[in-house]
């Protein structure tokens, strides 16, 4: 006679939950991860970066932006809509560090980033005109004194920005949430914005991870697989 275990329903529920979590994680597609350790950002390994403005150099094993502003570098191989991106940054001088999303051209699209004084912002740029600020916040840390992690999500018309120091946990909620529907698609990349910049002002990006996702929580599940990368990149902190 077949014996039925009393804990079978629990096992079934656990299996179903695990399957659902796996399905959600599978729906997050990693587009690319670049840590610039090959010292070449334009060789197609893993992607080819195309600087639009400014001077961009990966010879140090990081991607460093200097020169004229605004400094923008994009990866035009992937035209993306709903996107989540994460980077680790450090700045020198009076210059910012931002993730660019939905950029059909270098000076059109969205940016989520941090200023040297700890001011966070989500903005929209429409060409040569001044950026439209969609939301701001201030955090008690800055990318001048320590490496900072940024995550910028563009899901539908909702934009979310997180920032936290390396070595600390990612905040449960984004510091900024903003809404805009001007641009639905574009390229992902990095920017080093600021009102002015001297030759010694530089933005250093340790890595960038870009994923196509339906919602931020799914990206967080996927990001568990990237913990090793983050640990490896921490050794490169100044």
pLDDT score of 49: 98
In sequence order, what DSSP letters do the residues of 89-157 get, joined into one string? Answer: EEEESS--EEEEEEEEETTEEEEEEE-TTSEEEEEEEESSSPPEEEEEEE-S--TTTS-EEEEEEEETT
Name the residue ranges covered by the structural domains of the chain. 30-234
pLDDT score of 155: 96
pLDDT score of 129: 75
* Dihedral in degrees, nearest 10, Cα atoms 44, 85, 103, 77: 20
Residue carrying the six token digits 């979590």: 21
pLDDT score of 214: 63
Question: What CATH class is the domain 30-234?
Answer: mainly beta
**One pLDDT digit (tens) per residue for the chain, 238 residues:** 333 334 434 333 334 333 333 433 445 689 999 999 999 999 999 999 999 888 999 999 999 999 988 899 999 999 999 999 999 999 999 999 999 999 999 999 999 999 999 999 999 999 977 899 999 999 999 999 999 999 999 999 999 999 999 999 999 999 999 999 999 999 999 999 988 878 889 999 999 999 997 654 444 444 444 444 444 454 454 4
């Amino acid at each position: 006679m077949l014996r039925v275990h009393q804990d079978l329903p629990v096992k079934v529920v656990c299996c179903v939950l695990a399957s659902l979590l796996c399905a959600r994680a599978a729906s997050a597609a990693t587009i690319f991860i670049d840590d610039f350790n090959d010292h070449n950002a334009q060789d197609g390994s893993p992607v080819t970066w195309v600087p639009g403005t400014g001077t961009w150099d990966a010879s140090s094993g990081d991607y460093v932006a200097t020169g004229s502003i605004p400094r923008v570098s994009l990866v035009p191989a992937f035209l993306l809509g709903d996107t989540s991106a994460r980077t680790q940054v450090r700045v020198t001088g009076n210059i910012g560090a931002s993730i660019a999303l939905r950029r059909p051209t270098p000076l059109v699209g969205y940016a989520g980033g941090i200023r040297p004084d700890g001011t966070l912002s989500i903005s929209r740029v429409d060409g040569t005109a001044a950026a439209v600020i969609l939301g701001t916040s201030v955090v008690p840390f800055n990318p001048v004194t320590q490496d900072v992690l940024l995550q910028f999500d563009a899901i539908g018309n909702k934009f979310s920005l997180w920032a936290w120091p390396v070595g600390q946990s990612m905040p449960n909620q984004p510091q900024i949430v903003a809404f805009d529907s001007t641009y639905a698609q574009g390229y992902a990349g990095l920017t080093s914005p600021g009102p002015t910049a001297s030759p010694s002002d530089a933005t250093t990006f340790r890595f960038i991870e870009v994923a196509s996702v339906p919602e931020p929580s799914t990206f967080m599940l996927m990001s568990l697989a990237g913990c090793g990368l983050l640990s490896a990149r921490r050794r490169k902190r100044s």
